[in-house]
Amino acid sequence: MQKELKLLLTDPPPGESFPLLSADSDLSPSSLSSIDAHIEDPEGTVYAKGIFHIKIQIPERYPFQPPSVTFATPIYHPNIDNGGRICLDILNLLPKGAWQPSLNISTVLTSIGLLLSEPNPDDGLICEVSREYKYNRQAFDQKARSMTEKYAMAGAGGNSSGNQHILTHSNPTMMEIKGPDKESKYEVHDHTVIYKNQCGICRNLSLESSGS
């Protein structure tokens, strides 16, 4: 894990950063159980110019067990619920998921970046948002941009690249979901959960780790 973090600091995935880590940081195992990351989506998407805070929990059995990754910054996305949970198969073990010990944190963050750029409404986590993305794209884009401006841009809601305060999903009216999965969004899990709902099975997105 220490070697992996050093590689992330020297050669992070595009658009990724680790504001609380540096070459001088304490990289002992006890200090690496929780990692904060920033993801900045590229231009041309509804999340452009937003900086999204990601919380990464490293389990004791890593890399044989996948990390638990959640969004700390609110986001309007078919595959991310208002508790920050992410519908991505590499965040879950086989046979339901696609995590393998050959994958790493860089792979996970790269996959999440791709998910921001290319949502998959057919395998969505929130049915109402998925339907809106497919059948009322203008309304989806407007809501996604509005939430990005409110929560993810510098100076918005106390969230900026230089601010160590991590936003939480404490505002229940932030994303009011009235679809059939309204109750399931309040479930609490110890780890990021990949599950089936009325929208279908979570996205099958898996990347083999690169040489680095």
Query: Which residue, among 184, 157, 145, has the nearest Cα to 46 in the 3D structure?
Result: 145
Residues 115, 17: Cα–Cα separation, whole Å: 17
87 among known catalytic residues: yes
Q: Is the peptide bond before 95 cis (omega within 30 degrees of 0)?
A: yes
Instruction: Give dist(CA 17, CA 61) in Å, integer.
Output: 24
What's the farthest any 2 CA atoms get from each other in the chain? Answer: 49
101 close to 64: Cβ distance less than 8 angstroms: yes
- Residue 42, Cα to own-chain centre: how many angstroms? 15
Assigned token pair, 30: 């006890």
Q: Kindly report the number of other CB atoms within 10 A of residue 173's CB atom.
A: 5
* Catalytic annotation, residues: 87
